[in-house]
């Protein structure tokens, strides 16, 4: 029977420690010594046993008692200390055994044997032995104090609570008005319930799986209601944690008979059930199932199978994927969170009494949407928070909820729901889950990394000879199956995992004060951290290491993880110096380019198991790393400056993982054969001097995953080191990469015969799944490469094997799925030998074939050389790619490949043949989905009669210079076409062969159309004919002068169109008469249409969804607004972004206040625009959504609206080259309260600092300083701008003269500046360091285009991190005071004198800047 509740968090930890103390070796150590250690250890063990009896009761009671929770934390801290003590003993034993301090050390390698040897050889004067007594005594005193509190707290021994969720009893009733975002889920499940599969199981079982609170029961209730007419009998059972067959049967029988069932005899009840169910189609819902026990489920199904008819269904809702795998016969439905919009609707239903409240309180909606975002689509959390705020209209209360942790809120229902999932975890998994509190919310992690951290923390408990990694993988899979982790893939298909934010909160809750996360929003250590064992840091965008100093207090720290993100900022070497004084560190992860060296004191971290310095700038590892005898994982990936490993690395006999991928290492150190437990080795590198070390690989029998051997060309096959079975004993290895060269080594001197013999001797185990061979120099491949005994070999890559004349008979590999061959230059024909002469069904499993860079290959022969042969070759080939084979004239007839889905033909200069058998007219490509033909200049035409490709979704043709037309009858033969792209085909004149007057729907599924650089194309398909067309791009079509629609249509309908882009179509004159009825159009971009006179008519009414409008380089367009400026109607209700550029005849624009959602406006190079931004009668118009406004080079733009602009959200205002503009908007300080960024250039009449105006939120200011401004600089008032952080000043010639030869004046600039840029000051000679030192927050200083500047006086501000000096030809030197240790960035450009002095490595002043991590321009 599977046990649901296996004990408290600490019980696993305690059991491990107790087992270690009860081992024979440990007992031998403590017995018969002339001290009290034996007695003390017995007492310690008894204390741990006593504690173990209390932890189950304490873990349950901590939910309601903060005092018990604190008691548990005290106990946990003490237990950690016991573990640390035992680790010290084990490490000392290991050290003595390896360093020979113990002359009686046994040959056995087990750590327990070493413990015995240490203490049997110890004398009373042994310092280490004597140091144990006070440590044990201290721990005993602490445990005494803790355990003596048990009676006060009411803790009982041996009490094991079963987690009963007594408040949750579900029924089949559902309030559908409260269900949001489950339409698609409902349809999927209803389809499965209503299907009658005659081949599957008699009773279909459909599991619904998801985390607690995701809405599994609600979804089941909804479908239960919707299928009332589909089943003869229905019943709902809330199962819970106890899976009782009798209880389930009683409930079902009672529901069917409408009476309470009191039958307790299961056999009798089964008979009664059979009578009422016989011949009937039933639906049962078993809600909230927890049991993973297979046998009771099978017994239950035996009862159901004996009576129900085919088509009967059972829905099982569960949090655990294991339950789904045991019960399900239909596809499991993984339930995800609801969308953000649906989340808001659900929240609003519970938070607001009626819809009018939202309208009356828009500020509450803003806060509410942020609250909803925190819930990440979890309906239970959304309803809980919505109910908590029901009828509360005070924004401060809403802000309080937004900033609170969910667990801190009253009457919280989310924590109990998720706590139940945690309670059901066995103790060893509770520790693993709690550790995940180190992850920031939303952090993406890989399973292998997390498992390696668990392993370093001793969380994994193997049985027998089970590998630790396999144990960790099992643990991880269970947590995934129970919805603690969520699986996903990135853009490149790489797997990663995340935790839902509320699961992350749960991990943080259970880990308590033992985990600490340092993030951008929590950079300060604001609590006592002496108990912290695990720390992670991330970003530090605003601060560096000053807050890490508090970690000195974490004397018992076990792990420090530097988690990088897209905002990666370097920390430098300081964190290492800080962390190396923490003696209990087990895990140290420091991915940081700013780290340039590891101090030798890292060898003092005796407990270190995991060291990750990937992506650092280190050039070597200190030799003392070889003293880290506990080290299991050493990661050096992408250390691009690392050139060698320590010579005694082989002493790390516990090493299990070594990654040197992306380093400059040219050889492996001797002693690699000592890594008997090594599981993963990224690379094994040999050079000419160390080629004989290849033999050491033979001892690494447990290698798994992938291995790359580089420098294979340096191995001499006649040497003794290269044995025939060197690789064949690695049965767990999945992928082997053999590269003959290292980096850019010259391969011209290779001996082809030697290369062949070496490759022959490197034959891998037949379990290998992937093989890659690069730069092999032999003339042919050894026979094992195509040996059918490689039954698991599914992927082969052969690259740059330039001397090979024949391809191996790979057709014999029956399970090969993916084959890529590139750069094999000497192959002229790919003929029957490639398929395998003796193979009746060559390449029977091949799914993907890629051939490229085969410069001399002329023929890719069909199996027997006849294109007319009806034999099916490549019966499972799905993807074919042929590229850069310039002499290839013909290819395989594609219609002979029955499952072919994707074809790419690229850079085939001589290919002039056909895609199909030459005699075929309108050949069938029944599986083809994607076809791309690129840069095939001699490809002339598609098959006569067209291509019958009913599944083709994407057709992309580019750079086919002789292609005259696209396939015939496309609109009928390609009914599934969704994407059509024709690029750079100068001879294509048309792709449309139907009548424009025909009312038939064309291309019924076309969604995207792109036609670019086809100069002869005169007309296109009427865009209203493809009913699903969403994206249209017409670019550089010089001859296109037609219409977008049928010529007879007035105001045609484009009902699905979302994006329309027309660019550089010089003869495109107009849009359809009457406008374009495109209700879904969101984006319209028009550029370089020289003859276009106007935009579509009635845009404001016919394009109601328009969000983005951009018009560039249309010299004849005079207006795009055809409504009355006095009209009060809202125009373009959804327009968010408007950009008008280089339209010299445009005189006016739509009044911006008529666009209620407008956020971004750019007006550039509009020479004739002299109008207003708003309706002329409005004195202070409202621009309520405007965030960004840029007006550039509008010489006739005179003024902003009278009275100013009421734009409460405006954050950025940029005005430049508006010569007639008289002033900035009035009342900016009150009407623009959100303004953060202001830039004013080349507006001679504009005063950038209006007197009396205080922009309290301004953070970024850029302006041009003319003579008038310079003369009045005492009136600038910049020191009053308390939020100003970034200041950029451009000087005119006259302004520089007025300002003088030094800058800045004392008291001119605000002290809180972080960024200062001084540009184009013609007279500037000196930089006043004395003045700049008053800028105590200055981090980045830029001096650019100051030809007279010669020196920097005094010293730099202490806070300076970056110095940029550009185009200052007369500056001769930078004093050392301006190159402080805090500096992490130095950029010098256009300063020849400085460049010479600072030349990298050789310059006179290079030593002054060698410490700076990022130096550019030199």
What pLDDT is attached to residue 166?
A: 44
What pLDDT is attached to residue 5?
A: 41
What pLDDT is attached to residue 20?
A: 81
What pLDDT is attached to residue 101?
A: 60
Q: Are 388 and 410 in contact (CB under 8 A)?
A: yes
The residue among 159 and 218 whose pLDDT is bigger is 218
3 state DSSP class of 12: helix
Residue 275 binned pLDDT confidence (cut-offs 50, 70, 90): confident
User: What is the phi/psi pair of residue 32, to 5°?
Assistant: 75, 20
DSSP run (H or E) holding 496: strand 495-498
**Residue labelled with tokens 């409902």:** 186
pLDDT in tens, 1302-1348: 888 888 888 889 999 999 999 888 887 677 878 888 999 999 999 99
Q: Are 761 and 723 in contact (CB under 8 A)?
A: yes
Q: Which two tokens stand for residue 546?
A: 């000053």
Q: Report how far residue 206's alpha carbon sits from residue 208's, in angstroms, rounded to the nearest whole number.
A: 7
Lowest mean pLDDT, pick from 95-109, 507-521, 953-967, 1361-1375: 95-109
Q: Are 1403 and 1392 in contact (CB under 8 A)?
A: no
What pLDDT is attached to residue 366?
A: 83
What pLDDT is attached to residue 1250?
A: 65
Length of the chain measured in residues: 1418
User: What is the phi/psi pair of residue 830, to 5°?
Assistant: -105, 105
Q: Report how far residue 283's alpha carbon sits from residue 232's, in angstroms, rounded to the nearest whole number.
A: 8
Cα separations in angstroms, 1352 against 643, 1072, 1309, 1326? 39, 65, 18, 6
Q: ∠ at Cα 820 (818, 825), nearest 5°?
A: 160
Residue 502 binned pLDDT confidence (cut-offs 50, 70, 90): confident
The residue among 268 and 720 whose pLDDT is bigger is 268
Judge whether residue 861 has pLDDT over 60.
yes
What pLDDT is attached to residue 1408?
A: 85
- Tell me the Cα Rg of the chain: 37
Judge whether residue 157 has pLDDT over 70.
yes
What is the mean predicted confidence (pLDDT) over 691-720? 89
Residue 306 binned pLDDT confidence (cut-offs 50, 70, 90): confident
What pLDDT is attached to residue 1253?
A: 63
What pLDDT is attached to residue 121?
A: 45
Q: Report how far residue 686's alpha carbon sits from residue 668's, in angstroms, rounded to the nearest whole number.
A: 6
Judge whether residue 747 has pLDDT over 70.
no
3 state DSSP class of 1351: strand
> Which residues in 726-874 belong to E strands, given as ranges?
733-739, 770-774, 795-799, 818-822, 829-830, 848-852, 859-860
**C-beta contacts of 1155-1159 below 8 A and 24+ residues apart:** 1155/1130, 1155/1131, 1155/1185, 1156/1130, 1156/1184, 1156/1185, 1157/1133, 1157/1185, 1158/1132, 1158/1183, 1158/1185, 1158/1186, 1159/1185, 1159/1186, 1159/1187, 1159/1188, 1159/1209
What pLDDT is attached to residue 106?
A: 39
Q: Report how far residue 781's alpha carbon sits from residue 817's, in angstroms, rounded to the nearest whole number.
A: 20
Q: Are 394 and 388 in contact (CB under 8 A)?
A: no
Q: Are 457 and 435 in contact (CB under 8 A)?
A: yes
User: What is the phi/psi pair of residue 95, to 5°?
Assistant: -60, -45
What pLDDT is attached to residue 1003?
A: 87
Average pLDDT of the chain?
Answer: 85
What is the mean predicted confidence (pLDDT) over 425-449? 92
What is the mean predicted confidence (pLDDT) over 1397-1418? 83
Q: Are 1320 and 1348 in contact (CB under 8 A)?
A: no
DSSP for 662-726?
TS---SPPTTGGG-TT--EESEEE--SSSGGGGGGGGG-TT--EEEEEE-GGG--TTSTT--TTT
- Quickly count: other Cβ atoms within 10 Å of residue 1013's Cβ: 17
Q: Report how far residue 709's alpha carbon sits from residue 609's, in angstroms, rounded to the nearest whole number.
A: 26
> Which residues in 338-464 belong to E strands, given as ranges?
none
pLDDT in tens, 913-925: 788 865 567 788 9
What is the mean predicted confidence (pLDDT) over 1377-1405? 85
Residue 1194 binned pLDDT confidence (cut-offs 50, 70, 90): very high
State percent of the chain over pLDDT 70. Answer: 88
**C-beta contacts of 518-523 below 8 A and 24+ residues apart:** 518/547, 518/548, 519/440, 520/567, 523/547
DSSP for 924-941?
B-TT--EEEEES-TT---
Lowest mean pLDDT, pick from 278-282, 728-732, 986-990, 1253-1257: 1253-1257
- Quickly count: other Cβ atoms within 10 Å of residue 410's Cβ: 5
Q: Are 689 and 666 in contact (CB under 8 A)?
A: no
Q: Report how far residue 1258's alpha carbon sits from residue 1237's, in angstroms, rounded to the nearest whole number.
A: 6
DSSP run (H or E) holding 590: strand 587-590
**Residue labelled with tokens 């954050």:** 1211
Q: Are 698 and 726 in contact (CB under 8 A)?
A: yes
What pLDDT is attached to residue 28?
A: 62
Residue 976 binned pLDDT confidence (cut-offs 50, 70, 90): very high
Judge whether residue 99 has pLDDT over 80.
no
Judge whether residue 1204 has pLDDT over 50.
yes
What pLDDT is attached to residue 572?
A: 52
pLDDT in tens, 884-901: 999 998 888 888 889 999
Judge whether residue 831 has pLDDT over 90.
no
Q: Report how far residue 1182's alpha carbon sits from residue 1152's, in angstroms, rounded to the nearest whole number.
A: 9
Q: Report how far residue 1363's alpha carbon sits from residue 1360's, in angstroms, rounded to the nearest whole number.
A: 8
- Helices 414-423 and 501-511 cross at an angle (nearest 10°) of 70
Q: Report how far residue 820's alpha carbon sits from residue 825's, in angstroms, rounded to the nearest whole number.
A: 14
DSSP for 945-963?
T--B-TT--EEEEES-TT-
- Quickly count: other Cβ atoms within 10 Å of residue 408's Cβ: 10
Judge whether residue 940 has pLDDT over 70.
yes
Q: Is 1055 exposed, middle or buried (0-12, 13-18, 19+ CB in 10 A)?
A: middle
What pLDDT is attached to residue 768?
A: 97
| Burial 627-648, CB ≥16 within 10 A → b, else e | bbbbbbbbbbbbbeebeebbee
> Which pairing describes strands 829-830 and 859-860: parallel, antiparallel, or unpaired?
parallel
Q: Which two tokens stand for residue 900?
A: 């072919």
- 3-state SS, one letter per residue, for 1280-1317: HCCCCCEEEEEECHHHHHHHCCEECCCCCCCCCCCEEE
pLDDT in tens, 516-574: 988 744 445 556 788 999 999 875 443 444 456 667 788 899 999 988 643 344 455 55
The residue among 826 and 1121 whose pLDDT is bigger is 826
Q: Report how far residue 445's alpha carbon sits from residue 442's, in angstroms, rounded to the nearest whole number.
A: 10
Residue 1049 binned pLDDT confidence (cut-offs 50, 70, 90): low
Q: Report how far residue 1312's alpha carbon sits from residue 630's, in angstroms, rounded to the nearest whole number.
A: 49
Cα separations in angstroms, 978 against 734, 952, 1083? 38, 8, 20
Torsion of CA 1326, 1329, 1331, 1333, to 10 degrees: 160
């Amino acid at each position: 029977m599977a046990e649901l509740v296996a004990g408290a968090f600490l019980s696993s930890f305690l059991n491990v420690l107790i087992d270690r103390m009860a081992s024979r070796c440990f007992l031998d150590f403590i017995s018969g010594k002339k001290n009290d250690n034996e007695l003390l250890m017995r007492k310690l063990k008894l204390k741990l046993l006593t504690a173990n009896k209390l932890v189950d009761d304490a873990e349950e009671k901590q939910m309601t008692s903060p005092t018990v929770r604190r008691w548990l934390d005290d106990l946990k801290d003490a237990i950690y200390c016991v573990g640390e003590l035992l680790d010290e003993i084990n490490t000392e034993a290991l050290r003595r055994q390896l360093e020979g301090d113990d002359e009686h050390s046994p040959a056995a390698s087990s750590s327990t044997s070493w413990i015995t040897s240490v203490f049997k050889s110890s004398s009373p004067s042994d310092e280490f032995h004597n140091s144990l007594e006070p440590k044990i005594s201290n721990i005993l005193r602490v445990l005494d104090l803790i355990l003596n509190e048990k009676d006060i707290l009411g803790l009982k021994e041996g009490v094991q609570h079963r987690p009963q969720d007594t408040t949750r009893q579900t029924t089949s009733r559902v309030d559908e008005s409260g269900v949001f975002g489950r339409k698609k889920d409902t349809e999927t499940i209803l389809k499965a319930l209503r299907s009658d599969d005659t081949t599957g199981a008699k009773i279909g079982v459909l599991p619904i799986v998801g985390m607690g609170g995701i809405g599994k029961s609600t979804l089941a209730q909804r479908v239960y209601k919707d299928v009332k007419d589909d089943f003869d009998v229905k019943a709902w059972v809330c199962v819970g944690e106890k899976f009782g067959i009798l209880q389930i049967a009683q409930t079902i029988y009672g529901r069917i008979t409408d009476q309470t069932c009191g039958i307790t005899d299961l056999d009798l009840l089964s008979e009664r059930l059979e009578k009422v169910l016989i011949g009937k189609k039933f639906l049962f819902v078993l809600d909230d199932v927890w049991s993973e026990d297979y046998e009771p489920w099978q017994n239950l199904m035996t009862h159901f199978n004996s009576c129900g008819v085919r088509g009967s269904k059972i829905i099982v809702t569960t949090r655990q994927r294991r339950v789904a795998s045991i019960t399900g016969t239909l596809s499991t439905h993984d339930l995800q969170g609801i969308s953000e919009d649906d989340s808001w609707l659900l929240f609003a239903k519970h938070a607001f009494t009626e819809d009018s409240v939202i309208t009356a309180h828009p500020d509450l909606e803003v806060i509410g949407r942020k609250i909803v975002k925190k819930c990440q689509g979890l309906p239970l959390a959304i309803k809980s928070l919505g109910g908590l705020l029901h009828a509360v209209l005070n924004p401060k209360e809403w802000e309080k909820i937004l900033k609170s942790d969910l667990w801190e809120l009253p009457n919280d229902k989310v924590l109990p729901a998720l706590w139940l999932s945690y309670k059901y975890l066995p103790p060893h998994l509770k520790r693993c889950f709690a550790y995940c509190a180190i992850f920031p919310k939303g952090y993406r992690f890989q399973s292998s990394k997390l498992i390696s951290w668990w392993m370093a923390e001793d969380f994994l408990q193997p049985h027998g000879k089970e590998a630790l990694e396999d144990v960790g993988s099992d643990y991880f899979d269970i947590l995934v199956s129970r919805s603690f982790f969520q699986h996903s893939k990135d853009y490149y298909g790489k797997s990663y995992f995340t935790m839902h934010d509320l699961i992350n909160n749960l991990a943080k809750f259970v880990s308590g004060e033992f985990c600490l996360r340092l993030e951008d929003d929590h950079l300060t250590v604001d609590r006592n951290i002496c108990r912290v064992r695990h720390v992670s840091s991330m970003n530090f965008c605003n601060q560096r290491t000053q807050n890490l100093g508090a970690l000195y207090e974490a004397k018992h720290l076990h792990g420090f993880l530097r988690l990088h993100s897209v905002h990666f900022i370097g920390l430098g070497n300081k964190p290492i110096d800080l962390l190396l004084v923490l003696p209990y560190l087990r895990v140290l992860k420091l991915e940081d380019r700013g780290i340039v060296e590891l101090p030798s004191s890292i060898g003092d971290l005796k407990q270190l198991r995991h060291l990750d310095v990937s992506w650092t700038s280190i050039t070597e590892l200190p030799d003392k790393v070889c003293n880290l005898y506990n080290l299991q994982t050493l990661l050096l990936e992408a250390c691009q400056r690392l050139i060698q490993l320590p010579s005694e690395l082989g002493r790390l006999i516990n090493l299990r993982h070594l990654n040197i991928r992306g380093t400059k290492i040219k050889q492996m150190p001797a002693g690699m054969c000592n890594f008997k437990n090594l599981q993963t080795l990224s690379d094994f590198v040999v050079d000419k001097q160390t080629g004989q070390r290849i033999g050491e690989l033979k001892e690494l029998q447990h290698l798994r995953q992938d291995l790359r051997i580089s420098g294979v060309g340096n191995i001499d096959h006649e040497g003794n080191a290269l044995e025939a079975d060197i690789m064949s004993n690695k049965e767990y290895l999945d992928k082997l990469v053999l590269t003959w060269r290292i980096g850019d080594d010259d391969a011209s001197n290779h001996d082809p015969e030697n290369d062949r013999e070496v490759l022959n001797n490197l034959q891998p185990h037949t379990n290998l799944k992937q093989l890659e061979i690069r730069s092999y120099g032999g003339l042919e491949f050894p026979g094992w490469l195509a040996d059918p005994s490689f039954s698991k070999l599914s992927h082969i890559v052969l690259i740059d094997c330039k001397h090979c004349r024949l391809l191996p008979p790979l057709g014999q590999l029956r399970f090969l799925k993916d084959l890529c061959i590139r750069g094999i230059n000497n192959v002229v024909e790919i003929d029957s030998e490639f398929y395998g002469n003796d193979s009746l069904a060559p390449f029977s499993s091949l799914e993907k074939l890629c051939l490229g860079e085969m410069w001399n290959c002329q023929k890719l022969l069909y199996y027997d050389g006849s294109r007319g042969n009806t034999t099916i070759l490549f019966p499972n080939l799905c993807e074919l790619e042929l590229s850069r084979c310039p002499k290839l004239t013909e290819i395989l007839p594609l219609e002979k490949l029955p499952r072919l889905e994707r074809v790419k033909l690229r850079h085939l200069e001589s290919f002039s043949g056909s895609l199909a058998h030459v005699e075929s007219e309108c050949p069938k490509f029944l599986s083809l989905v994607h076809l791309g033909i690129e840069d095939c200049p001699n490809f002339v035409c598609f098959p006569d009669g067209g291509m019958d490709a009913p599944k083709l979704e994407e057709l992309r043709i580019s750079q086919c210079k002789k292609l005259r037309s696209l396939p015939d009858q496309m609109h009928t033969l390609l009914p599934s076409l969704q994407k059509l792209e024709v690029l750079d085909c100068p001879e294509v004149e048309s792709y449309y062969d139907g009548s424009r007057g025909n009312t038939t729907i064309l291309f019924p599924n076309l969604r995207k159309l792109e036609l670019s650089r086809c100069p002869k194309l005169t007309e296109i398909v009427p865009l209203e004919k493809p009913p699903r067309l969403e994206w249209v791009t017409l670019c550089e079509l010089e001859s296109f002068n037609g219409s977008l629609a049928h010529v007879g249509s007035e105001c045609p309908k484009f009902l699905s169109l979302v994006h329309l882009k027309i660019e550089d179509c010089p003869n495109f004159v107009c849009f359809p008469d009457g406008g374009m009825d495109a209700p879904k159009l969101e984006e319209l971009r028009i550029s370089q249409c020289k003859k276009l006179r106007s935009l579509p008519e009635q845009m404001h009414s016919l394009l109601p969804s328009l969000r983005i409008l951009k018009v560039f380089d249309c010299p004849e367009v005079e207006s795009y607004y055809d409504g009355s400026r006095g009209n009060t109607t809202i125009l373009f209700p959804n327009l968010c972004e408007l950009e008008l550029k280089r339209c010299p005849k445009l005189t006016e624009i739509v009044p911006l206040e008529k666009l209620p959602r407008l956020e971004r406006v750019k007006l550039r190079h509009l020479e004739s625009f002299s109008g207003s931004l708003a309706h002329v009668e409005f004195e202070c118009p409202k621009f309520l959504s405007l965030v960004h406004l840029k007006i550039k080079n509008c010489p006739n733009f005179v003024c902003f609206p009278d009275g100013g602009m009421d734009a409460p959200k405006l954050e950025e205002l940029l005005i430049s080259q508006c010569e007639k503009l008289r002033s900035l908007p009035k009342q900016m300080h009150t009407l623009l309260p959100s303004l953060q960024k202001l830039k004013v250039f080349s507006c001679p009449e504009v005063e950038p600092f209006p007197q009396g105006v205080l922009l309290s939120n301004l953070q970024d200011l850029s302006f041009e300083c003319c003579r008038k401004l310079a003369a009045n600089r005492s009136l600038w008032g910049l020191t009053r701008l308390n939020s100003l952080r970034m200041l950029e000043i451009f000087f005119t010639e006259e302004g520089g003269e007025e300002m003088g030869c030094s800058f800045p004046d004392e008291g001119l600039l605000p002290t809180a500046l972080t960024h200062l840029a001084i540009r184009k000051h013609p007279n500037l000679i000196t930089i006043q360091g004395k003045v700049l030192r008053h800028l105590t927050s200055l981090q980045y200083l830029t001096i650019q285009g100051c030809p007279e500047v010669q020196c920097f006086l005094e010293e730099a501000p202490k806070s300076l991190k970056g110095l940029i000096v550009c185009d200052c030809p007369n500056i001769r030197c930078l004093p050392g005071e301006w190159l402080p240790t805090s500096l992490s960035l130095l950029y010098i450009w256009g300063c020849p004198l400085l460049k010479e002095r600072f030349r990298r490595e050789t310059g006179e002043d290079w030593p002054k800047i060698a410490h700076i991590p990022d130096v550019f321009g030199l």
